[in-house]
């Protein structure tokens, strides 16, 4: 991993929440690309398969972190907020760890769009998602 891909300090110490509860590990974040992993164990549906909602959380997490890095490039008070997520579940996973890679499709002033591919340990794609995030400034929204 290059220094450019290291998790930015502003994103490294996220408060405890869903990311931690689901065991998501953020490996690298930049405005162009983010990579992270999540264990299948503990994130399954009743039939023992990776839950589709867990895949959606992983996709939105990685896409949102990349969008946040994009927002921070032009505004130290920049934030990214997910506004649309579409995911297709292509295959199942029962064990191991899945890896998500979010890649920027469009990085605009007010909107960023990311393609997120989730793969199993063999490298087979199990889900494909597209996330749109609104780019805002917290300084503009404070009253």
Which residues are catalytically annotated? 60
Sole residue written with tokens 């996220």: 14
Tell me how far apart the alpha carbons of residues 92 and 33 are, in angstroms, rounded to a whole number. Answer: 24
CB 78 within 8 A of CB 42: no
39 φ, ψ (degrees, to nearest 5): -75, 145
* Beta-bridge partners for 87: 129
Kindly list the distances between the CA atom of residue 128 and the CA atoms of 10, 56, 141, in Å, as whole numbers in the listed order: 27, 9, 33
Burial of 58 (C-beta count, 10 Å sphere; 0-12/13-18/19+) = buried
16 φ, ψ (degrees, to nearest 5): -60, 145
């Amino acid at each position: 991993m290059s220094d450019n891909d290291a998790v930015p300090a502003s994103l490294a110490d996220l408060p405890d929440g869903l990311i931690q509860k689901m065991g998501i590990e953020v490996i690298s974040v930049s405005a162009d690309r983010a990579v992270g992993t999540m264990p299948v164990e503990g994130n399954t549906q009743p039939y023992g398969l990776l839950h589709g909602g867990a895949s959606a959380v992983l996709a939105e997490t990685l896409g949102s972190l990349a969008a946040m890095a994009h927002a921070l490039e032009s505004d130290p008070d920049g934030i990214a907020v997910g506004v649309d997520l579409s995911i297709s579940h292509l295959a199942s996973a029962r064990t191991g760890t899945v890896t998500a890679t979010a890649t920027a499709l469009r990085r605009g002033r007010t909107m960023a769009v990311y393609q997120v591919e989730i793969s199993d340990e063999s490298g087979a794609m199990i889900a494909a998602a597209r996330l749109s995030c609104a780019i805002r400034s917290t300084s503009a929204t404070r009253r």
